[in-house]
Amino acid sequence: MKFSDDYDAKFRIWAAEGKAHGMPRIANLPSFGHRRFDSYEEFNAWKKSLLDRLLKEGGARWTK
């Protein structure tokens, strides 16, 4: 196994570094209004539907 494939080693390195890494943003997130949820089931179903909409639109387009 290459060292770079050893995720336990990577986790230890990142844990020791403790540095926040930048993250891209999605440029084409479907728009939605505010939502209030009463259960995690409801919340997770909504989140899945949002991701499904994103997939139908060809997937995420990333930006910095």
Q: Which of 2, 34, 56, 64 forms a contact with another protein (CB under 8 A)?
A: 34
Residue pair 21/61 in contact (Cβ under 8 Å)? The answer is: no
Question: Residue 12 interacts with another protein (CB under 8 A)?
Answer: yes
Q: How far is the CB of 2 from another protein (least distance, A)?
A: 18
* Residue 56 binds to another protein (criterion: CB under 8 A): no
The H or E element that residue 22 is part of is none
**Interface with another protein, residue 53, by CB under 8 A:** no
Q: Is 5 in the site for another protein (CB under 8 A)?
A: no
**What is the distance between the alpha carbons of residues 5 and 32, in angstroms, rounded to a whole number?**
39
Residue appearing with tokens 């403790």: 18
